[in-house]
Chains A and B, each alone.
Chain A
Amino acid sequence: MKKIFLVFLLVSGGLALEAAPLPDNMYFRAMKDEMDRSLKELRVKNGPKPFYLAYQLENFSVLCESASFGKLDDREAQPYQRLRGQAVLAAGSPQNDSMGFTEDQSRYAPVGQSAVPQSYWGIRHGLWQLTDHGYLNASEMYEKKQAYKRQKNITNNWPDFASAPQGSFVEEIPPFSALPREEMQAWAKTLSAQGEGVSYLEDFSASLCMIQRDFYYLNSNGGFYQYAQPSRYVILFAQMRNQAGYRESLRREIQLPQDWQAEKQNVQQQTAQLLQEAAQLYQAQKAEPYLGPVLLTPSAAADFINRLLVKNVRNVKPLLSSQRENDPTAGAFRDKTGMRVMSNVVDVYDKPLQREYNGVPLAGFMPVDDEGVQAQDLTVVSGGKLHQLPLSRRSASQGQPSNGHARMNGYTLPREALTNVFVQAKAPLTQQEMEDKLLARCRELELDYCYILKEFPSGQRGTDNVVNVAERIYTKDGRREPVFGLKISELSTRSLRDILAAGDDARLSFTQDPEFRDYSLVVPSLLVDEIEILPSDKKADRKPFVPKP
């Protein structure tokens, strides 16, 4: 039986008025004992003393099976498991501390360790190394930050690290239970076998992954959490050279609900759909320059929202840095509360406490944030105006308290970010209505055709701006024509205000921000009034020397 303790405590200045039961297990015993020792004894001569310490342990388990053209990859690993540890240490005082300052803005991350031994002493040893290293680093940052603030004449009106009521969330951690191995293998084989016999496909593979991340968190103000975050997904991948000789690939990630059996048919259908798109891509025409309305399908719309909204509503408190005056990681909307940032055909909400969507576990689920504050639901955009920002204990410069949106991972110390983002149409249209509206707008602009994008460049590091799956839809007769090799030109936040309509087909996608924090996005198809499309610069490849076997 699953036991859940959901206790949100009222704590003043980080001091608990009522004690919630700290889980009695090896992880919390080790964290507590090492935290107590460190805060009591960790000092360097003439250095600032540590006043805040937080530990996060993550027990990561994964099992994947993959197959290509109906045959398993000859690669087998037993479930991979690692215990990872992270420490956040602040030195000085809450009014004036060592955090929020960096010399290199690409590096504002907690100290971490990837293979902590699974024993009480092993965990304490790992945490000791992280704490000691974190303290020496914090001492140095504290001195540098004070020197920088003196040099720039910066004074604090608000504390660097505000006190906040601390919360806790404790849930019994279930053992990692992947599907039976044989079943995963059989499914991967069945899905990938659908690509067999398709002459132009150079590869067609299916990977099935089961992941569980068990989180254990404790901070020195009394906040803590313990819960498991499961995730199950299928990745389909098709690789080909299309008729024009261009090397193209299609990738689809399908999140699975806990009751994955019920989803088998849907996955099968999506596999068939991907193969259909591959067939279209094989025969597709190369794109030509275009400027006009574009209909984004839910998947493309999610990337659009991530790139233009989610990334700009993050890291609300800019970092101080001696290297650069402006913090490039800070979201562009951080000081635009009350301003119009989006079309009023949709509202945007953030729901960190929502655990599932149609049975699929959400990637942004966060009952208590990484500063120990209970996470709150936010109305991010309402009536087109930016309404609420994610806030942390460090973004209290306007006197606003944290709303429990400090998120950290291995690449960033706790900073403000959204979690599970829901874009809701005020007057949702059916798919047919959306297409009709697109065509009507195209006719109004006297265009021969306009575009439906089925994917959108995510703008993530390491990816180019090329869209593989798109269609032209002709104004004259509604005829559709597959197109490949598009890139989006000069996209700006202006496009958010150009949304003309939203569909009734909201779909769940997962994404990450540049700091690799995970988000869930539930977004319907969106009609955007103007996006500029250019043909990509990619050149055709030669035909294979030898035909496929």
Chain B
Amino acid sequence: MKKILLAGLLLGGCLPLAAQGLCDISAQRPIQLLETELNRSFKTLKKQKPSIYYLSYTYTQTDEQALSVAEGGIAQKDKQQNAYLQVMARAGSPKMDNTRTLKIDYDDFYQPQYTMPELSGDGKAFRTAVWRATQEAAERAQESFSRVQADSVNAAKRSDDSNDFVFPPKSTYCRTEAPLSFDLERIKALLLKASEQVQGSAFVLDSSFSFTVSQGSRYFVDSVGTRLKTPFAYARLSYTLDGQTADGLNLTRSEAYDVLKESELPSEEQFLAAVQKSLAELQTLSQAPEAEPMTAPAILKNRAMAVFVHEVLGHRVEGFRQKDDAFGKTFTDKVGQPVVSPLLTIVDDATLAYFDGVPLRGFYEYDDEGVKARPVTLVDKGVLKNFLMSSSPIKGFPKSNGHGRAQAGRRPVARMGNTRVIASETVPYEQLEEMLLAEIKRQGKPYGFIIEDLSGGFTQTGTYAPQAFKLEPTLVYRLYPDGRKEAVRGADMVGTPLVSFNKVLAAADDYAVFNGSCGAESGWVPVSAIAPSVLLEALEIEKTYKNSYKPPVLPPPSADKKGGNK
């Protein structure tokens, strides 16, 4: 068995961002105007009753492009620039403030965002817009705090009576980055070519080929004195092919390439070959037998394992879920105890910009509460060590570790960034398959599973439902004891977190990145997860939901395309 040192992985595969494009924060016009308005307002607001004891502004400039193509035509081609402001006003005191969840209000994370006027000239229009947003945020915060106060009169004792807020440390940071640049005409031609490649296949009921770019800068100013400017950038080339079986099962094959440079894009040959591969897989799936519910040993391929860790463990170690009694608190009292196989160490490190040449969507320098990102070892050789923390402290974890994140229009809570699984011992992937065969035979099972790809999934963390997860594989193979592989359709992975993670028997050395977007209370945030393929002693498979509607009566029109566009 091959042992890989953690240090080796850090140096070999991952790239923290070098200090580049640093700038003078005090010379930034948005910072100057926001600071002026914050100082002017906060002086008065903190004296109000109830007091606005903390105030922050996040001003975001975005530049977005989206190109979507299907059936040899452009469906969407948009380019837009926006600038918007979010105001965080906290009323009351750190002990109890307006952000506390009410007894009957589970999910109030809404925070308005305001489109802003341009900054040019004397800045008066900009400052007026900031003033308007501040007034509204302060009023909302005071109203919410009144509700929190009233609610607390009749609330049961909280099992964790930690403060609602801890002041973030004062920080100053300024960085700019050159805008992303892509040859959009070349990409458009590539997407059109790929979209025509899937025509003529009756089993492809829908397809979409797209390229999206989102980039910009975020400016942050708060009443503690933090002043930040950080750039962000994401670009993605992707496609999706959809099908449906006669018995109503939806089938999907998709691929996404996250890039930050033209040179990181796949070549035309690579992209078209990937589409062909997905096409073949979709055809195979459309004729494949349906999965039967069963428990069997299985390999979770690297990207599937990455999603598995994100859903099954990651969400359960988000700090705020340990505090609120509405959550199941699977891991709250397990710090210092083994929670997963001792083979695994799990770190969330948002400071990594790349892994093995792949840009990580979960990269950021400061979180959405102005706290510097840093690596957090969540699990060390199977033992739980830490939680992901925002500025809402919990028992034993009084400070943020830079994981307060939110989508625009939402209030930040603790979320994942780049979640990495590191195995203390690994084997080549081929050996992992041999180990799976041996395990199938040892358990006397008719077959095991290889979970090749996952589209995503969900996990229940509330006490109102079982503490279970369900993941949705899009490509699953049965592996028979004689080594034969057979694709099956309609298989979902289910289980409970405490059991599932202890079933990891071995890991491969084939680390890979799953780049995605994660949706939770504070909205959708870009995340990455990095993991090797693992062998599970047992995995429970159940049948997937089927659509009760008939599939289309006629084949798609382009199925009999004989050549030439009309």
Contacts and interface: CB of A to CB of B under 8 A. Distances in A.
Interface of A: 26, 29-30, 33-34, 37-38, 41-44, 67-78, 80-83, 115-125, 128-129, 132-133, 135-136, 196, 202-203, 542, 544-546, 548-549
Contacts of B471: none
A27 to B, nearest CB: 11
Interface of B: 37, 40-41, 44-45, 48, 61, 68-83, 115-121, 124-129, 131-132, 134-135, 138-139, 199, 206, 549-550, 552-554, 556-558, 561, 565-566
Contacts of A202: 128, 132
A25 B215 CA distance: 38
A119 B565 contact: yes
B554 A128 contact: yes
Contacts of A76: 80-82
A545 B81 contact: no
A121 B126 contact: no
Contacts of A80: 78
Contact of A125 (B71, B124, B126, B128): B71
B245 to A, nearest CB: 16
Contact of B131 (A123, A196, A548): A548
A122 B70 contact: yes
A71 B41 contact: no
A546 B549 CA distance: 58
B84 to A, nearest CB: 8
A83 B69 CA distance: 13
Contact of A78 (B74, B80, B135): B80
B566 A29 contact: yes
B80 A70 contact: no
B23 to A, nearest CB: 20
Given A73-B117, A74-B119, A128-B556, A546 B78 contact: no
10 contacts: A42-B553, A43-B553, A69-B125, A117-B70, A117-B75, A119-B74, A121-B558, A124-B557, A128-B557, A546-B134
A167 B37 CA distance: 63
Given A120-B72, A202-B132, 19 more contacts: A26-B566, A37-B557, A38-B554, A43-B553, A68-B125, A69-B117, A74-B117, A117-B69, A117-B72, A122-B71, A122-B72, A124-B558, A125-B70, A132-B553, A135-B553, A203-B129, A545-B135, A546-B40, A546-B45
A68 B130 CA distance: 12
Contacts, number: 155
Nearest to B80: A77
Contacts of A77: 78-81
B138 A75 contact: no
B73 A122 contact: yes
A69 B565 contact: no
A71 B566 CA distance: 47
Contacts of B45: 545-546
B131 A78 contact: no
Given A44-B553, A69-B117, A121-B558, A548 B566 contact: no
B44 A121 contact: no
Contact of B75 (A43, A118, A544, A548): A118
A119 B117 contact: no
A123 B552 CA distance: 17
Nearest to A70: B125
Contacts of A135: 553
Contacts of A117: 69-75
Contacts of A37: 554, 557
A393 B451 CA distance: 56
A72 B117 contact: yes
Contacts of B553: 42-44, 132, 135-136
A304 to B, nearest CB: 33
Nearest to A543: B135
Nearest to A127: B557
Contacts of B71: 117, 119, 121-122, 124-125
Given A69-B124, A75-B83, A546-B45, A121 B68 contact: no
B75 A121 contact: no
Instruction: Give 4 nearest A-B pairs by CB, closest first.
Output: A119-B73, A117-B73, A122-B73, A74-B83
A232 to B, nearest CB: 21
Contacts of B76: 82, 115
A534 to B, nearest CB: 27
A343 B127 CA distance: 53
A121 B117 contact: no
Nearest to A136: B550
B62 to A, nearest CB: 10
A128 B115 contact: no
B132 A203 contact: yes
A82 B74 CA distance: 10
Contacts of B125: 68-71
Given A69-B125, A546-B41, A549-B127, A121 B199 contact: yes
Contacts of B120: 71
A128 B72 contact: no
Nearest to B130: A549
A42 B124 CA distance: 63
B34 to A, nearest CB: 12
A125 B81 contact: no
Contacts of B68: 115
B70 A73 contact: no
Interface hub of B553, B565, B566 (most chain A Cβ within 10 A): B553
A42 B75 contact: no
A226 B104 CA distance: 54
A124 B565 CA distance: 12
A549 B115 CA distance: 18
A67 B117 contact: yes
In this complex, the member of B41, B73, B206 whose beta carbon has the largest number of chain A beta carbons within 10 angstroms is B73
Nearest to A40: B554
Contacts of B73: 117-123
A74 B76 CA distance: 23
B550 A121 contact: no
Given A118-B73, A128-B552, A544-B135, A71 B118 contact: yes
B41 A34 contact: no
Contacts of B37: 549
A175 to B, nearest CB: 16
Contacts of A73: 115-118
Contact of A75 (B77, B79, B81): B81
Contacts of A42: 553-554
